[in-house]
Structure 1
Amino acid sequence: MTATTIDEVIENLEQIIQESISEESTLGYFAALYQNVTIHIKEKLGKNYFDDDKRMEQLDVIFANRYLTAYAKYKEKKEVTKSWAIAFKSSTDSMLIVLQHLLLGMNAHINLDLGIAASEVTDDKTIKSLESDFNKINELLATLVDEVQKDLAEIWPTLLKILKFLKKVDDFLINFSMKLARNKAWEFANELVKGDKEKKEKLLELKDLEVSEFSEKIINPGILVKILFTIIRLGERGKSSDKTKKLEKLIENKLDNH
């Protein structure tokens, strides 16, 4: 499962969404979010939004293939990065809320994969010219990440009630702000383009470990927050397929309004 164009990325993500719906898998949550972001990136091409449309599509495809390849390997029971291994394994954890599943996917893909993709479309002499478009692609992601908590509360009111009752969950989510994720991904890309093969392998190993450690915090955020998440989970009624469809529609409407 690999793509060579942005259209193929969208098609492959649709395949994952439909597969997840038929299998009642929570993996459809992240795929639904990712597909809508990709569609809107495609719509920006050719409209003088990005500085370099050709390079941006190349970045988008390389970036997406990191996820598509990891997903395919997981389904074939092959080894993937620690970050994706945790996200995929957690898809069978019935006690995680939708927001946790989304954060696990975003953590692996943005904090690990995005920097790698950026380093593969540039080198140490040209990476500076990518920064503007790099920030723009993140702006589209940020429109979702910053508001996903509120949006999910519209679907499952229990989430909204608890967030109003105790701000502790907000404090937990602040640790995964898009701005922080974007800045770290950019720093990681710059480190990668400057290193030789041996240094790059070491950087990848250390980054994967760092990202996977944060994944564990998303799964186990502490006793108090975990109790709150358990209560929220009880309010998230319905099958995984129903939640995927609701999330897909909600995200689509949110992006249409931006």
Structure 2
Amino acid sequence: MAETQQPAARDDAPRSSVDCVLERMRSYRSQWPATDGVAVFNRVYLTVTEEIGRRVDSGEFPDRRAAVTLDVLFAQRYLAAVDAATSGLPAPACWRPLFQYRRHPGVRPLQFALAGINAHIGHDLALAVVDTCHALDCEPSDLESEFDRVGDILVLLEERIREDLMPGPDLLEIADPLTHLLGSWSLERAREASWSAARLLWGVRELAGLADEFTERLDMSVGLVGRCLLTPWP
């Protein structure tokens, strides 16, 4: 049965929680080779988390406690998937394609990055909103500002990621299907769907069976998109 709730963060949501998350992601960066598909996503996510931390510290988030709690519980979903895969346990379905294809020579770095972002935004973000509501005893609407600000940072970084990891012009001309595939996925649409899923999950939280079924279906559907994004190319 799908897991819908992580352990709650401490009420004060200390910056040290973000630092612990960053420390783990930096340790992965040193452990995994640069060509590893999960390492590609980890580098991207580390950049995102560092940027969110800087903006929290500079006061860009009106509710610092909510922003840090959401950021940490969001990251813990990814770290839990890594722990499961490392221990030989099944990771959530949304993450399995990335772990299965992480060393495939026919998958481009940008595909790895987008597949990880798809899993984390499409599935984990919705559950992290619910986790945060439980931790802070609030409603999703109370987190909308923080959710939107995090999403805006992700959209800006996605543009840079595509510029940095997109194959060169010659390869793009040869691999038009690859260009079409990568252009068919949108972080903005994934973010909107994640917010809707979070609101729905919160609305049916007292109906455990229905909430678990929806979470499982969400996990599987996001995983299917991830598998398509990781289509190998000669």
The structural deviation recorded for 1:127 is: 1.1
* 1:14 equivalent in alignment to 2:21: no
Identical positions, percent: 24
Other-structure match for 2:157: 144
| Alpha carbons of structure 1 residues 136 and 210: separation in structure 2 relative to 1, 3 Å | same
| Alpha carbons of structure 1 residues 89 and 165: separation in structure 2 relative to 1, 3 Å | closer
- 1:63-78 equivalent positions in 2, closer than 5 A: 63-78=74-89
Q: Is the 8 A contact 1:20 1:26 kept in 2?
A: no
Comparing 44-53 with 28-37, which one deviates more in the overlay?
Answer: 44-53
Q: Residues of 2 paired with 1:160 and 1:53: CA distance? A: 42
Other-structure match for 1:159: 168
SS in 1 for 2:99: helix
Q: Is the 8 A contact 2:111 2:182 kept in 1?
A: no
What is the count of residue pairs matched by the alignment? 217
Q: 2:119 aligns with which of 101, 108, 120?
A: 108
Other-structure match for 2:202: 193
Other-structure match for 1:41: 52
Q: Residues of 2 paired with 1:71 and 1:85: CA distance? A: 10
Q: 2:188 aligns with which of 156, 171, 179?
A: 179
| Alpha carbons of structure 1 residues 194 and 67: separation in structure 2 relative to 1, 3 Å | same
SS in 2 for 1:42: helix
Other-structure match for 2:226: 215
| Alpha carbons of structure 1 residues 109 and 97: separation in structure 2 relative to 1, 3 Å | same
Please list every run of 5 or more consecutive structure 1 residues that lacks an aligned counterpart in the other structure: 221-225, 231-258
Comparing 193-202 with 13-22, which one deviates more in the overlay?
Answer: 13-22
Other-structure match for 2:3: none
Q: Residues of 2 paired with 1:125 and 1:48: CA distance? A: 21
Amino acid at match of 2:164: D
| Alpha carbons of structure 1 residues 67 and 56: separation in structure 2 relative to 1, 3 Å | same
TM-score (norm 2): 0.84
Deviations 1:34-80 (A, max 9, x none): 11111111111143311211111111111111010110110110121
| Alpha carbons of structure 1 residues 137 and 174: separation in structure 2 relative to 1, 3 Å | same
Q: Is the 8 A contact 1:118 1:189 kept in 2?
A: yes
SS in 2 for 1:21: coil
Amino acid at match of 1:60: D
Please list every run of 5 or more consecutive structure 2 residues that lacks an aligned counterpart in the other structure: 1-6, 10-15
Deviations 1:215-249 (A, max 9, x none): 121123xxxxx6xx43xxxxxxxxxxxxxxxxxxx
Q: Is the 8 A contact 1:146 1:177 kept in 2?
A: no
TM-score (norm 1): 0.77
